[in-house]
Amino acid sequence: MQGKKLRVAILFGGRSAEHDVSRASAANVLRSLDPDRYEAVLVGITRDGRWIAADAGNGAGTGASPLTVPESGPQLTFLPGGHGRAVLTQVTGDAGRELPAIDAVFPVLHGPHGEDGTVQGALELADVPYVGSGVVGSAVSMDKDVAKRLIRDAGLPTSRFLSVTASTLPTYDDAVRAVGTAELFVKPANMGSSVGVSRATSAEEFKAACEQAFRFDRKILIEENIPAVREIECSVLEDGKGETHASELGEIVPDSKHGFYSYDAKYIDAAGAALVVPAKLSKQQSETFKTLAIKTFKTLCCEGMARIDFFLSGERILVNEANTLPGFTNISMYPKLWEASGLPQDKLMDVLIEHALARHRRAQAVSVHR
């Protein structure tokens, strides 16, 4: 590449229950960045929310190990640097020392305080390009209650559900009547990676499932069970020109001992699920899924990237959810689907970063002054 390398800050870790997943995803993003094009700057976010310079002694990019979030070290904050760049400034130790300006940020953060629009808002205030959806798309997609309402109101097919808080929690029998099945799925409204998700087929299981979900959020979803379900996923990518593309499709087949694609099946048990790429579908089904994926992406105001998850039960296709910062581990579906579609991970990084830069240029062209 001719010219100066772009300095890309990778944010990872974070305050959510998906902290460790983020560390694994960030390691894979780092390994996928072309060192001839980019200079990576690592910023680890501790579980209590401190932003720490994470370059030194990290072992970053070696093997398949997750990145490490240091418990101590120079604490950082982002400040506007002008002309679409941000300055990392130390706020502890050598306080006030400015580090070289950042050209773009890749927030590899999953769950609340990272995927929900909060970090995106901070990056908007810092006036720096960043990868992925903006504040609205991130917030809407993270809140499964809001997302499913928008999906439903747009006329896209989705499962029956209830959104409740602790003060409006129904009995098991009332929940069964509301969603139409005796087998229920209970999940936090704002969480990913199947954290806090449980299945319930009795009043006792329902009580335990709700207690588990309320550990992670003040609002939970109660959804119908979809019989004989297949889990189909599609990766959506928006390029620098604003054109949206759908990948080949993949299918997740959880091992029978898990029953559904739980957190353990995703990240703990190496044999927890099989990823079938491409999914075995008819041509017509594939086109329907891809069309619905792009419609969902646009309905939820997503930008840059998202993985759209579906349920397939017989001929019934349902949109389940959108993940605006999907997993980027070495076994994650989002990059695997693009690899199957002819776009290797290093080139995928190029498209995502170019989208971030192009979106920022377009935003700068819209005057906020009279």
Q: What is the DSSP string of 135-173?
A: HHHHHHHH-HHHHHHHHHHTT--B--EEEEEGGGPPPHH
Query: How many structural domains does the chain have?
Result: 3
Question: Does 344 lie in the same domain as 303?
Answer: yes
Question: Does 272 lie in the same domain as 181?
Answer: no
Q: How many CB atoms lie within 10 A of CB 103?
A: 25
Report whether 60 contacts 27 (CB < 8 A): yes
The average pLDDT across 70-94 equals 76
Q: CATH number, domain at 115?
A: 3.40.50.20
E-strand stretches of the chain: 6-13, 38-45, 51-53, 76-82, 85-90, 104-107, 161-165, 184-188, 198-200, 219-224, 230-238, 244-254, 273-276, 305-313, 316-323
Question: Does 167 lie in the same domain as 97?
Answer: no
Do the domain assignments include residue 334? Answer: yes
* Euclidean distance between CA atoms 35 and 15, whole angstroms: 29
Question: Does 335 lie in the same domain as 239?
Answer: yes
Question: Does 356 lie in the same domain as 233?
Answer: yes
Question: Does 117 lie in the same domain as 50?
Answer: yes
Q: CATH number, domain at 176?
A: 3.30.1490.20
The average pLDDT across 342-361 equals 97
**Which of 123-127, 139-143, 239-243 has the least mean pLDDT?**
123-127
Question: Does 194 lie in the same domain as 118?
Answer: no
Q: How many CB atoms lie within 10 A of CB 62?
A: 10
* Euclidean distance between CA atoms 127 and 364, whole angstroms: 9
- Considering the entire predicted model, what is its pTM? 0.88
Q: Summarize pLDDT for 49-68 with one digit per residue, the tens.
A: 999 988 744 555 455 678 98
Question: Does 24 lie in the same domain as 38?
Answer: yes
Range of the domain at 331: 228-364
* Euclidean distance between CA atoms 223 and 202, whole angstroms: 14
Burial of 170 per CB tally in 10 Å (0-12, 13-18, 19+): middle
Question: Does 118 lie in the same domain as 25?
Answer: yes
Band of the pLDDT at 1, cuts 50, 70, 90?
very low
What does the angle CA 270 – CA 275 – CA 279 come to, to the nearest 5 degrees? 170
Tell me, what's the pLDDT at 88?
A: 80
Tell me, what's the pLDDT at 74?
A: 81
Of 67, 88, 63, the closest CA to residue 77 belongs to: 88
Tell me, what's the pLDDT at 3?
A: 67
Question: Does 220 lie in the same domain as 178?
Answer: yes
The average pLDDT across 21-45 equals 93
Q: What is the DSSP string of 95-150?
A: TTPBPPPBSEEEE---STTTSSSHHHHHHHHTT--BSS--HHHHHHHH-HHHHHHH
Q: Summarize pLDDT for 288-325 with one digit per residue, the tens.
A: 999 999 999 999 999 999 999 999 999 999 999 999 99
Coil/strand/helix, residue 83? coil
CA 281 distance to own-chain centroid = 25
Coil/strand/helix, residue 38? strand
Do the domain assignments include residue 150? Answer: no
- Partners of 222 in the β-ladder: 162, 186
Q: Summarize pLDDT for 96-120 with one digit per residue, the tens.
A: 667 788 999 999 999 888 999 999 9
Do the domain assignments include residue 155? Answer: no
Mean pLDDT score of the chain, rounded to an integer?
A: 88
Band of the pLDDT at 258, cuts 50, 70, 90?
very low
Do the domain assignments include residue 111? Answer: yes
| Relative orientation angle of helices 135-142 and 144-153, to the nearest 10 degrees | 100
Q: What is the dihedral of CA 2, 354, 108, 138, to 10 degrees?
A: 170
Do the domain assignments include residue 296? Answer: yes
Burial of 342 per CB tally in 10 Å (0-12, 13-18, 19+): exposed
Question: Does 357 lie in the same domain as 233?
Answer: yes
Rounded to 5 degrees, φ, ψ at 133 are -70, 160
List CB contacts of 2: < 8 A, sequence separation 6 or more: none
* Euclidean distance between CA atoms 361 and 369, whole angstroms: 16
Pick from 189, 206, 224: which residue ends a domain?
Answer: 224
The average pLDDT across 335-354 equals 97
